[in-house]
Amino acid sequence: MNNPNGALAQTLPADAAPAASRERIDPKRLRAIIVGSSGNLVEWFDFYCYAAFSLYFASAFFPAQDPTAQMMSTAGIFALGFFIRPVGGFLFGSLGDRLGRKVALMASVLLMCLGSLIIACAPTYASVGIWSPALLLLARLLQGLSLGGEYGASATYLSEMAESRHRGFYASFQYVTLIGGQLLALVLLLVLQNFFLDAQELRAWGWRIPFAIGACLALVALLMRHDLPETGAFEAARKKKQALGSFRELARHPREVLLVIGLTMGGTLAFYVYTTYMQKFLRLSVGLTDAQTTAVSAASLVFAMLLQPLYGALSDRIGRRPLLVGFALLGTLFTVPLMTAIRHASGPWEAFGLIACAWLIVSGYTSINALVKAELFPASIRATGVGVPYAFAVSIFGGSAEYVALWFKQAGMESSFYWYATGVIACTLLVCWFMRDTKAGSLIDAELKG
């Protein structure tokens, strides 16, 4: 019988391994999860520096426009970076399914490093004209390719490394680090704003600092990932000589592909509403100052980050489906009231409280969505199956969220965006309602038993 986690099980006596695995996680496996999560944090820090600092560098690449138009231009490039993610999902997913999860994780972080370095060194529009936003677009496309592969490879690696009883808890750390990367970008902005640079210096050159830091951190993550062990599930699939990572293999799972798209469309839209767009919403619509906007965004992300392992652990007890249904149902009912209330918030504390309420809902999706998708696919196609349809849905509904919201605002119909978000989440509710619980029929567990 093939044991997908055989390399890790060798650290225990054969007769004690099953009992011990029920009590504690293997130290090697725990280290792999921590290192894999740390690399994920760096990738998302690099990617979200763009959103966090766009208020300051927009005028450098798109001059002679009003603030909302500048934000739309930067949001447009932000969205284009998402449209390339399905390509990255297939390239790196295929790489992860053919050559190993570790190889895909290393390649993705190296590409992210290059994208961050280009932005850090990019000349302004005043220096080179149209070439300036063109370089910005190139960098974001490279970063989009990187994240297109990172999600599927990271979700697959963490899900396969975590042991069955606590898989929801440990897999939730993908979004702990994902949100943590965004939080670090905001904390860096907050530190620069309050202790080192004024607004004029940030707009002149200070916005380059986070991208330079991100490029350096990506190299550190590359070195960390170099020592990661490969997952037993991948090694077992490779020994069977299956059609690893091919489109033909993926085509054998049409129901699972559609499930990933359906789950992602509402969840990713909600996630980007309360993360990247919320920063602009607080500044342009609620009327908070730059410092208040950063503080509220950072505090709400800390709250969201703390919720992820709690919800993940809950899914290990009651299943994945109840959390997904809860998110979609409450998201459908309360998106319009919450966004309307935030729009009319009297100050930063009220805004934070309302956003925290939103995260109590959205975390039902974010904490376990990567794991649910990984549990749908066999090891031979898992990284591709998770990464490609997810990236497709994110490119349409997630990456465009900020741009669509700003378009509604500029057209004088800001509240219409709330209803658009509600409609998309309602579609995900239908998917969640009729899907089976992947905890009960996890293909990862089936592979462990087989």
Looking at residue 350, what is its pLDDT?
Answer: 93
Closest CA to 4 of 162, 286, 240, 233: 233
Whether the Cβ atoms of residue 100 and residue 234 lie closer than 8 Å to each other: yes
Looking at residue 342, what is its pLDDT?
Answer: 92
Question: pTM above the 0.85 mark?
Answer: no
| Single-letter amino acid, residue 145 | L
What 3-state DSSP class applies to 252? coil
Looking at residue 290, what is its pLDDT?
Answer: 78
Looking at residue 135, what is its pLDDT?
Answer: 87
Looking at residue 24, what is its pLDDT?
Answer: 56
Looking at residue 244, what is its pLDDT?
Answer: 56
Written as one string, the DSSP assignment of 82-108 is: HHTHHHHHHHHHHHHHHT-HHHHHHHH
Looking at residue 439, what is its pLDDT?
Answer: 78
Long-range Cβ pairs for the range 281-288 (8 Å, 24+): 281/342, 281/343, 281/405, 282/342, 282/351, 283/55, 284/67, 284/68, 284/71, 284/409, 285/343, 285/409, 285/414, 286/342, 286/343, 286/345, 286/351, 288/348, 288/351
Residues of the chain with pLDDT under 70: 1-26, 64-72, 75, 78-79, 232, 237, 240-247, 441, 445-450
Can you list the domains of the chain with their CATH numbers? Answer: 31-243+253-449 (1.20.1250.20)
Half-sphere exposure of residue 418: CA atoms within 13 angstroms, side-chain side: 15
Looking at residue 428, what is its pLDDT?
Answer: 95
Looking at residue 3, what is its pLDDT?
Answer: 44
| Single-letter amino acid, residue 2 | N
